[in-house]
Amino acid sequence: MASSHNSSYELYCVNPLKPEIIFVPLLDTKLDSMLPPNIRSSFCKNNNGLDMHYLEAGYENPNNPLIVLLHGFPELAFSWRHVILPLAKSGYHVVAPDQRGFGKTTGWDNTYTSDLSSFHHINLVRDVLGLVSSLGYKSVECIVGHDSGSAVAGWSALIRPDIFKSVVMMSAPYTGVQEILFDTVNNDNQIVIDNNIKSHTVSIDDELSSLVRPRKHYHEYYRTAQANSDIMDSPYGLEAFIRGYYHYKSADWSLNSPFPLKSFTASELEKMPTYYIMDLHDNMADTVAKEMPTDAESMNCEWLTDKEIEVYSEEYGRTGFQGGLNWYRASVDPGNQRSLELFSGVRIKIPSLFVAGKQDWGPQQKPGSLLRMRNDVSPTMKDMIFIDNAGHWVQQEQPEKVTSAILEFISINVTD
């Protein structure tokens, strides 16, 4: 049914519920050459307008329960390369897609579009549901999301607990939707939104720009029209940017020692590194260039080799970053906010877990979000695990520990 090694063919599922399968010869890409044996590169029409590319293992046994892995920014399905096989060897069909806006998946708007509806959170959940359905599954043992993929995993768990049996959110706490104002007819006092858990950053940049060292929030920068070209046209080169960005946010950068911030205010936010709170007049390529690893550090980076960097640079060199950057824009789009209000007050009821690197600022960048996630949005959360010697790219920096955490969580909390 399938090719014995990923270097020969990509599987194209026209209708996976029927036996017709088309094999398409693979292009000669860096991705193909870097995939471990038994990880297959496949495409499938996902029922939501995408020809979705995904990596998979454990597909040989049709009775294997499904695990779905969702990457963040600027990542790819390839970011799960060290986790896919170990999970599959434990008896699961493991699928890691290139999400809308990324990698080899096609059918998405690659412009700085004014219509962000296809990048709204509910539509990103539809993308995942469409993939699951196309693969012939009616349930998912566990959905795992990292970084911006954590939000998609969280929304998937909240909206469709009948399909997703458990959820693991990584690096970025999932905080749900702001509560709809309550009892306003009888009470003139408006609910005051806790300054510690603001859902977005639109109002903070004026305060940041007025600091003694003027700054700006990276979310707001990533929403600008020039962010993509700043990176793509950087004089430093794409491979250097990717190497530097991954280094700067990892445990390899020795100054990544996060701690809880007291409030979502400029005086607190400026304590974070410049990959989150940028210098006012720098773009992200400039920001990264100031913290590049030495040649020795790059050479000794076992979790991200030069050959693996080439996979990222080839894919982003072809697509650019605008698809992923549109996620930042869509997250604060009024249409996205209105559609999510439908789920105000709804909580995640399935077993949930949070995993992050101990040296990752991601869980701390929105003060109060960890407590909101655990105590309010996902009160069934079993644990929050912080893995030492890992920064933001925890599943790449410490894949063995991440795999163990996922498997232990599923074995204890998920039953037929």
- Give residues with Cβ within 8 angstroms of 69, minimum separation 6: 77, 80, 83, 84, 94, 95, 96, 144, 145, 146
Lowest mean pLDDT among 18-22, 113-117, 329-333, 348-352: 18-22
Find where tokens 């962010």 sit.
227
| Average pLDDT in the chain | 90
Whether the bond between 74 and the residue before it is cis, its omega within 30 degrees of 0, is: yes
Lowest mean pLDDT among 69-73, 93-97, 202-206, 225-229: 202-206
* pLDDT tens per residue, range 369-404: 999 999 999 998 989 999 999 999 999 999 999 999
pLDDT digits (tens, 9 = 90+) for 272-311: 999 999 999 999 999 999 999 999 999 999 999 999 999 9
DSSP 314: H
Whether 47 has a pLDDT exceeding 90, the answer reads: yes
pLDDT at 397: 98
The pLDDT confidence band at residue 414, using thresholds 50, 70 and 90, is: confident
Domain ranges of the chain: 9-180+331-413, 195-326
DSSP helix/strand/coil, 378: coil
Q: For residue range 309-332, list pLDDT tens digits in order.
A: 999 999 999 999 999 999 999 999
Dihedral (Cα; 123, 199, 79, 290), 10-degree rounding: 140
Q: How far apart are CA 66 and CA 94, in angstroms?
A: 6
Per-residue pLDDT at 15: 44
Residue 49 pLDDT: 96
CA distance 125 to 403: 24
* pTM to 2 decimal places: 0.92
Q: Which pLDDT score is estimated for 416?
A: 52
pLDDT at 25 over 80: no
Q: Is the pLDDT of residue 413 over 70?
A: yes
Helical packing angle, 148-159 and 121-134, nearest 10°: 70
| pLDDT for the residue numbered 184 | 64
What would the pLDDT profile of 164-223 be if each residue is shown by its tens digit?
Answer: 999 999 999 999 987 776 666 776 554 444 433 344 455 799 999 999 999 999 999 999
**pLDDT given for residue 197 in this prediction:** 38
Give the pair of three-digit tokens for residue 117.
């509806």
Cα–Cα distances (Å) from 389 to 252, 276, 301, 359, 394, in that order, read: 8, 20, 13, 7, 9
Q: Would you place residue 37 in the very low, low, confident or very high pLDDT band (cuts 50, 70, 90)?
A: confident
Beta strand 66-70 with 93-97 is parallel
In this prediction, residue 183 carries a pLDDT of 65
pLDDT computed for residue 226 by the predictor? 98
Q: Are 242 and 380 in contact (CB under 8 A)?
A: no
- Residue 312: predicted pLDDT: 98
Name the class of domain 9-180+331-413: alpha beta
User: In sequence order, which ranges of 97-200 are alpha helices (DSSP H)?
Assistant: 121-134, 148-159
Which structure tokens are listed for 57?
């293992």
Size of the chain in residues? 416
186 token code pair: 């009888």
User: pLDDT at position 23, please?
Assistant: 38
